[in-house]
Structure 1
């Protein structure tokens, strides 16, 4: 029997899952619901290297929140023509709000993090397809199915520590 020494174990990367959206606008709350569903699973798994956060929108202060992370996964609802969800690599961009109603885009937050702290975490945007956007605190049935699929996908990525396709 071979016993692994601590020095043989690969250290886990620090991961932040950061959701944003308005849970009072139906499917716009998909990201927030992702964090709600992911949090107990992370505790059960003992994944203390993964932290979660959520807010109504991204703000410039979030550059500070991501600076000490190895991997950042932003999660947001999407009106784009995608199947159920999509994971994209985020490239830094100085454009404050790229085709989003939020105050700042993930690309802008990443660019700010690089500029202010000289840190460049591996960064992704997980978009979950939404359908309904009225003032109501419930997800549409279709969005709930998409959330379940995206949650399973994200759990597997966290478990394997492989985010790139």
Structure 2
């Protein structure tokens, strides 16, 4: 399993993805590879091609809740540029280039402060980060239990 946290920590709450991936990486969870980046790029298609499951983690603007979690499918945008890569684009490239499509989810963590160049998360974003981490760890635990039951 691969987790990719992405965003720009120099843009306030846009750093939620990297903050999440760094927190998860500190846990050294077995079977989970963690990557942190500023943005998604074509090279991520190669990285995800060797995994059955990938979790993309990014900041979410104007989210209704502390976080969202949804499965995503491959899709290409009208045009591809350096800032237009989204999880669906990376999945599509992975399918096209490597003939595999891992199961993929996006964990969007709600942020409020994206405009100015500044390091650090807003208070609300920090609280949302904690909630998202608790959810993710619980999701991983339930997933492991389900896989264990299926192999029993």
Matches within 5 A, 1:6-155: 15-41=1-27, 43=28, 47-95=29-77, 102-133=83-114, 134-155=116-137
Task: Flag structure 1 segments of 5+ consecutive residues without an equivalent.
Answer: 1-14
1:97/1:62 Cα in 2 relative to 1: closer, same or farther (>3 Å)? farther
Runs ≥4 in structure 1, deviation > 3 angstroms? none
Q: What is the alpha-carbon root mean square deviation over aligned residues?
A: 1.8
User: How far apart, in 1, do the equivalents of 2:140 and 2:7 lie?
Assistant: 22
CA deviations 1:83-140 (Å, max 9, x no partner) are 1100011111011679xx9330100100110111111111011000000012111100
- 2:4 is paired with a residue whose SS is strand
Residue 56 (structure 1) shift: 0.6
TM-score by length of 2: 0.87
TM-score by length of 1: 0.81
Which structure carries more helix by proportion? 2
